[in-house]
Amino acid sequence: MIVAGLSPESSDNFHTRQSGGPPQSNPLQIAMTPSPKTAFVTGASSGFGRAIAQRLLQAGWRLIISARRRERLDALAAEFPERCHIACFDIRDSAAIDAALAGLPENFANIDLLVNNAGLALGTAPAPQADLAQWRQMIDTNITGLITLTHALLPRLIERKGLIVNISSIAAHYPYPGGNVYGGSKAFVSQFSLGLRSDLHGTGVRVTSIEPGMAETEFTLVRTGGNQAASDALYAGVTPIRAEDIAEQVAWIASLPAHLNINRIETMPVNQSFAGFQVHREG
């Protein structure tokens, strides 16, 4: 199968090599002008974000990598120093976002792809016992930070007829005990993606929402305050989604011709499916 914009050899390599395996001698190369296209990836210090950044760098993209943990961004940028620009800030800090964008070097200023990956879940308690501060932190990160950066970059993305990929979750559609504000925040991301797609009609800008199910990254450790036993129990006997699997989806979407838009991708591991409704019985 030939992917638009790729040579037959690189297209076959993209579709046949195992996700997450070591880079082969001829990794995916997206056809570009002499100046590489530029992507902005948030939450690039770990998990999905780091895997997405690595995959796009392997594909020849120039990257702006953003997260709070500078040392992790430095380690990632060291692999591709000429094609990485570090923008270290907390996505909840609107002033820091403005400063980071104002400080972009000229060769990173034209942004073709925004990957809104930064986000988190905190706590597993039901709503009456939940920590209100954690709820607010999830809203500030998963919603307010995402829309602030997106709004700031829309003029550049429109000028470049670019692509926005928002990382949502199956929690946007399927509730579960303790999901409360996390699920609500991801439902916002999914609906916001559809709204952007509608508002950007006629601009050439594409918008995709990726909605993964059970994935093994640092996500559960963050959610449980570093409880490794809880993380191990969750994934015991399961083959979950890997960060590299989602990175491959982003690379595929970014490789598609400009006249195609992938509206939404929902992905679960085979070990995960749908459960029945809860029923409370009296007496």
Checking 254-258 for CB contacts under 8 A at 24+ apart, the result is 254/30, 254/39, 254/56, 254/59, 254/61, 254/113, 254/163, 254/165, 255/3, 255/4, 255/5, 255/6, 255/14, 255/28, 255/30, 255/59, 256/3, 256/4, 257/4, 257/5, 258/161, 258/204, 258/206
Residues 6+ apart with CB under 8 A from 237: 271
Surface-to-core class of residue 47, CB atoms within 10 Å of its CB (0-12 exposed, 13-18 middle, 19+ buried): buried
- Asked if 235 is an active-site residue, the reply is no
User: What's the token pair of residue 115?
Assistant: 């990957």
8 A C-beta contact, residue 42 and residue 69: no
Choosing from 174, 176, 182, 235, which is the catalytic residue? 182
Q: Count CB-CB contacts under 10 A for residue 89.
A: 22
Distance CA 251, CA 1 (A): 16
- From residue 180, alpha-carbon distances to 57, 130, 173, 194 in Å are 36, 9, 12, 22
Cite the active site residues: 182
